[in-house]
């Protein structure tokens, strides 16, 4: 079974417009050590803004601007909390149902729901996503074009037939993804604009190499937003061979980090000066460039930087705090959920059905 920590990854958007996203991740688990049986995390533009788990039994804002939003909407957190309390036993029951279908007994099991929407603030284009997973693999997916459910697993066919018959249920989700979710996303972006639309250059941009024969990793951290490009080039020409591009990962403070590796085993020492790592942040005119030969200079703080990377990676694991199955299709990294009432919360937890 694969249980993966969620790592958000988005490509470089056009400078003319920004694609905003609202995503919710629901995770129900059984016998996972030191992890709540039920966790919900909400993110706006891949920044965590609300959290609920079965230990605290309380929806809590995770950004200053969400504190303001909650103060302006007094029933919001109470609505979130009550709805999620009601959803928690549904997830627990669905785990037991799926254990029977998969002929399982004890052990670690995880049932998840990912749903939400993306909105381009220039073109107005909207995309929605909604699916469920079990034990690290897709279980059932909602097709927004046909308003029917797709069952990748034979064990999900029963669920598909049950949910396809509920027209009101499917019509609700069609309306949610095309309208309700986007309305709430716009509200959140409006409150968090000063934070979500800020631009921050990397606090660290360094070269890392474990041994003289290891690949050289160009590492940047502390930048925001995650609309970046980072690559190696030789004599001004971007390289594609012998290059391994890493994912954009979240830091504990809401900023991001990224690395791109270069295999230097076939590069002659005298040619190192021809190679450079380039960091480009959307909306910022000037590139940040570091020459490969910098790593060969005396006093380069290699050990300190590598130690910093380890700390940062540990922080990434610590702040995410929920599981997500691996996504294989581009554009389906995020999913979310919302409600019909502007006075309570944006989550329609009563719409989470039994499998």
Pair of tokens at residue 177: 């993804």
The phi, psi pair for 327, rounded to 5°, reads: -100, 135
Mean pLDDT over the full length of the chain? 82
pLDDT band at 175; cut points 50, 70, 90: very high
Among the residue ranges 219-233, 262-276, 306-320, the one predicted with the least confidence is 306-320
The phi, psi pair for 186, rounded to 5°, reads: -60, -40
Residue 135 backbone class (left: φ over 0; alpha: ψ -120 to 50; beta: rest): left
Q: What is the pLDDT of residues 229-248, one digit of tens each?
A: 999 999 999 999 999 999 99
Highest mean predicted confidence (pLDDT) among 89-93, 211-215, 291-295: 89-93
Q: What is the pLDDT of residues 101-125, one digit of tens each?
A: 999 988 999 999 999 999 998 899 9
Helices (H), the chain: 64-72, 76-101, 157-164, 167-175, 181-196, 302-320
Does this model's pTM top 0.75? no
Tallying the residues shown for the chain, one arrives at 355
- As a CATH number, domain 4-197+321-351 is 3.30.500.10
Residue 69: its pLDDT value, please? 97
- Residue 213 CA: distances (Å) to CA of 205, 207, 264, 266, 293: 21, 14, 7, 10, 15
Q: Which helix (H) or strand (E) holds 185?
A: helix 181-196
- Diameter over CA atoms, the chain: 70
Q: Give the count of alpha carbons within 13 A of 44, CB side only.
A: 25
Query: Where are the chain's structural domains?
Result: 4-197+321-351, 204-318
Q: What is the pLDDT of residues 93-103, one digit of tens each?
A: 999 999 999 99
- As a CATH number, domain 204-318 is 2.60.40.10
Grouping H, G, I as helix, E, B as strand and the rest as coil, residue 250 is strand
- Distance, CA of 269 to CA of 299 (rounded, Å): 18
């Amino acid at each position: 079974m694969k249980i993966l920590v969620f790592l958000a990854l988005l490509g470089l958007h056009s400078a003319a417009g920004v694609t905003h996203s609202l995503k919710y991740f629901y995770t129900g688990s059984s016998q996972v050590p030191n992890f709540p049986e039920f966790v919900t995390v909400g993110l706006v533009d891949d920044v965590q803004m609300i959290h609920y788990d079965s230990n605290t039994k309380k929806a809590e804002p995770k950004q200053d601007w969400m504190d303001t939003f909650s103060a302006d909407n007094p029933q919001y957190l109470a609505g979130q909390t009550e709805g999620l309390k009601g959803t928690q036993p549904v997830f627990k029951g669905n785990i037991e149902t799926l254990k029977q279908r998969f002929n399982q007994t004890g052990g670690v099991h995880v049932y998840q729901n990912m749903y939400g929407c993306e909105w381009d603030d220039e073109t107005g284009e909207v995309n929605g996503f909604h699916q469920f997973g079990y034990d690290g693999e897709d279980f059932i997916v909602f097709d927004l074009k046909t308003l029917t459910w797709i069952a990748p697993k034979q064990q999900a066919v029963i669920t598909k037939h049950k949910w396809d018959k509920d027209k009101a249920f499917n019509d609700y989700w069609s309306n949610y993804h095309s309208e309700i979710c986007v309305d709430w996303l716009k509200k959140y972006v409006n409150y968090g604009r000063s934070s979500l639309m800020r631009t921050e250059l990397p606090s660290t941009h360094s070269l890392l190499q474990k041994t003289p024969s290891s690949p050289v990793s160009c590492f940047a951290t502390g930048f925001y937003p995650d609309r970046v490009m980072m690559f190696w080039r030789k004599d001004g020409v971007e390289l594609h061979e012998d290059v391994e591009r890493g994912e954009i990962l979240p830091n504990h403070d809401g900023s991001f980090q990224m690395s791109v590796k270069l295999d230097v085993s076939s590069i002659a020492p005298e040619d190192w000066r021809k190679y450079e790592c380039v960091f480009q942040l959307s909306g910022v005119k000037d590139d940040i460039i570091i020459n490969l030969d910098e790593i060969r200079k005396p006093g380069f703080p290699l050990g300190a930087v590598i130690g910093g990377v380890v700390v940062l990676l540990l922080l990434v694991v610590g702040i995410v705090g929920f599981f997500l199955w691996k996504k294989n299709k581009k554009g389906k990294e995020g999913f979310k959920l919302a409600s019909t009432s502007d006075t309570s919360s944006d989550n329609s937890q009563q719409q989470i059905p039994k499998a």
